[in-house]
């Protein structure tokens, strides 16, 4: 009854962090989990290995369209992955990334295993260059899981009848470890800082265009009472640093780079910020909410499914930097006690709906249906 998770990726994101929690659940479900990994990233290798997961590592691989085609359609990687599935006696092959979909499906069919796909974003449905490959895998998947209603809606508009077969499609929200991501006691020093200094926002995640951090920097211009910690790395970092300088906000922005443990950074911040152009759900926001931080966010993707305006944070009226600035200012203008109230409500929301336990129970039900 082994589940082998296939990950082909170059960076650490919400999907990879979610997988760590899901695969670690084997200790309680008694169902073995392992990871078959295709990556050029030593940081991603370390993420899985430091979590104590069983990893079969293909070794450093190249990224790009041509390496993707060679891996997905050629004989070498599928042969290696098939051997992993057979050695692990896999009954379920769980695909988490676009680059794993064709490769993982081919190997699963050779090893006579069932295929589960988790749709962590809408990319494969929005991008015409991805869709032909993703569609081939989708028609052969035994179960398709969406991390939010937003992702499900976009997929159904594109895939139609491919998702209407019996109980093939379902929603399982990503969850976070609410014991690990827990509020920390306030200190007198922290309280004094909150009264005396600028309000500190934090943005967590990959630095790519989809995360919309250029919008956050634009908004920061209109909110001189705010400062911003950006925790993460990616291809856009250089451009974002240059933009912060040109906008005159560089002295209020800290680029922290990748952090293997973001809890200290969240604890040092007052409010979590999401300026994403597209967001399947937002694991980083859930982590901040679990630590009692309210959220200011643009109403994009699956974010409105986790952030309730007026209760767990502030949602901008539209997806513009001007409206984001208005929401940031609204969060600054309320009394400190109100921010804390919304932070407490944010944690309660995560405990109610977005815990690791709830996520793992959802996936275990799917695994049991496919391979009891």
Same domain, 287 and 139: no
- How far apart CA 150 and CA 138 sit, in angstroms, is 18
The parts of the chain modelled with pLDDT lower than 70 are 25-29, 164-167, 187-196
Do 250 and 122 share a structural domain? Answer: no
Within a domain: residue 265? yes
Helices and strands (H and E) in the chain: how many: 17, 13
Q: Tell me, yes or no, whether 183 lies in a domain.
A: no
- Cα 259 to Cα 13, 52, 145, 196, distances in angstroms: 12, 18, 28, 27
Quick one: pLDDT at residue 189? Answer: 47
Instruction: Name the nearest CA neighbour of 346 among 301, 310, 316, 317.
Output: 310
Choose among 293, 273, 284: nearest CA to 347. 293
- Residue 163: inside a domain: yes
Say if residue 289 is in the same domain as residue 158: no
Quick one: CA dihedral 75, 79, 80, 81, positive or negative? positive
Residue 180 included in any domain:
no
Q: Are residues 260 and 278 in the same domain?
A: yes
Q: Are residues 321 and 359 in the same domain?
A: no
Please report, for the domain that includes residue 299, its CATH number.
Answer: 3.40.50.2000
**CB of 148 closer than 8 Å to CB of 118:** no
| Run of H or E residues at 194 | helix 188-196
Instruction: State whether 200 and 166 are in the same domain.
Output: no
Same domain, 228 and 130: no
One domain, residues 62 and 103: yes
Is the same domain home to 48 and 117? yes
* 324 and 277 inside one domain: yes
Structure confidence at residue 167 (pLDDT): 64
Domain count of the fold of the chain: 2
Q: Encoding tokens for residue 340?
A: 């804390």
Write the DSSP assignment of 302-360 as a string of letters: TGGGT--BTTTEEE-SSSSHHHHHHHHHHHHHS-HHHHHHHHHHHHHHHHHH-BHHHHH
| Domain containing residue 214 | 188-353
194 and 343 part of one domain: yes
The verdict on 45 and 21 lying in the same domain is: yes
């Amino acid at each position: 009854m082994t589940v082998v998770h296939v990950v082909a990726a170059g960076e650490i994101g919400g999907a990879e962090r979610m997988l760590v929690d899901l695969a670690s659940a084997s200790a309680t479900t008694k169902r073995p989990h392992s990871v078959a990994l295709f990556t050029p990233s030593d940081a991603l290798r370390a993420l899985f290995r430091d979590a104590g997961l069983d990893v079969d590592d293909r070794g450093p691989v190249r990224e790009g369209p041509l390496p993707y085609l060679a891996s997905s359609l050629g004989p070498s990687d599928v042969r290696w992955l098939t051997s992993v599935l057979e050695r692990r006696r896999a009954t379920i092959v769980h695909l988490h990334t676009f680059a794993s979909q064709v490769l993982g499906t081919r190997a699963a069919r050779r090893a006579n295993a069932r295929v589960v796909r988790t749709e962590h974003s809408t990319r494969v449905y929005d991008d015409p260059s991805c869709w032909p490959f993703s569609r081939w895998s989708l028609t052969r998947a035994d179960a398709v899981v969406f991390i939010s209603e937003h992702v499900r809606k976009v997929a159904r508009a594109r895939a139609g009848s491919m998702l209407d077969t019996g109980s093939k499609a379902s929603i399982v929200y990503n969850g976070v470890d609410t014991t690990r991501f827990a509020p920390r006691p306030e200190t007198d020093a922290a309280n004094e800082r909150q009264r005396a200094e600028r309000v500190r926002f934090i943005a967590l995640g990959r630095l790519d265009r989809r995360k919309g951090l250029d919008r956050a920097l634009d908004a920061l211009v209109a909110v001189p009472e705010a400062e911003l910690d950006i925790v993460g790395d990616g291809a856009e970092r250089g451009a974002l640093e240059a933009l912060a300088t040109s906008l005159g906000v560089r002295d209020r922005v800290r680029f922290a780079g990748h952090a293997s443990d973001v809890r200290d950074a969240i604890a040092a911040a007052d409010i979590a910020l999401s300026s994403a152009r597209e967001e399947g759900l937002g694991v980083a926001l859930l982590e901040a909410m679990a630590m009692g931080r309210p959220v200011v966010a643009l109403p994009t993707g699956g974010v409105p499914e986790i952030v309730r305006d007026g209760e767990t944070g502030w949602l901008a009226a539209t997806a513009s930097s001007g409206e984001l600035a208005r929401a940031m200012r609204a969060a600054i203008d309320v009394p400190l006690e109100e921010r804390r109230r919304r932070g407490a409500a944010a944690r309660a929301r995560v405990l109610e709906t977005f815990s690791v336990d709830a996520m793992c129970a959802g996936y275990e039900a799917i695994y049991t249906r496919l391979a009891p």
